[in-house]
Amino acid sequence: MNYEGPIIRKLALELHNNVDWSTHPCHLGNGDCCEENVPTGAYDRHVIYNAIRTGNISQVVVAQAKERAAQNEESCGFFNLDTRSCDVYNFRPANCIIAGTGGFVNEKSHNAIESVFKYRHTGEDDGVAIMHMGTSMCRGCHNKLAKQGKRIRVAIIEAYCTVIDDYRNNSAEIMKINDFITEIK
């Protein structure tokens, strides 16, 4: 297991706890970004396994997730399409935690990447307008935040890059969530 997993999860939770949820569209439970078969790291899976083992995630939830994963390979099995909510929300992967805080910055985000370099040299963090960058958050949230003129702090963008780099550097440990769900005993 990658030793950086706990650090990445802690970072994701810190970012999540620093979002202004009163103005962020994700608090409305859109769940569009949850309709993906997201990659999970070894530590993410360890957290979910431990929650199942200790009874914090019930066998009923696991059985429902397996059924949903088998029916729809593209959508996360833990995402309940009827309630538009995550059945393992408190134990969800770091990838999911961060996506809700503003979305992973994608490779097309030249403005964001340039701002990270500026921030490192000057310490100025005036953020990057969401409308001027590409993210992998769901289109609905991206468009709502862009129309509001929201900006993502450069420190958060840099943290996203850390998580993406961790996933890329440890790609042998990465598994799609539905592949993991089908393996749960």
Confidence band for 146, pLDDT divided at 50, 70 and 90 = confident
Between CA 40 and CA 184 the distance in angstroms is: 14
Residue 129 CA, chain-centre distance (Å), reads 20
pTM: 0.71
Residue 56 has pLDDT above 60, yes or no: yes
Residue 69's alpha-carbon distances to 38, 77, 96, 142, 164, in angstroms, are: 12, 4, 17, 26, 24
pLDDT digits (tens, 9 = 90+) for 105-132: 555 555 566 666 666 677 776 666 666 5
Residue 17 has pLDDT above 80, yes or no: no
Q: Rounded to the nearest 10 degrees, what angle do helices 110-122 and 154-169 cross at?
A: 110
- Residue from 163, 162, 170, 159 nearest 1 by CA: 170
Between CA 138 and CA 121 the distance in angstroms is: 31
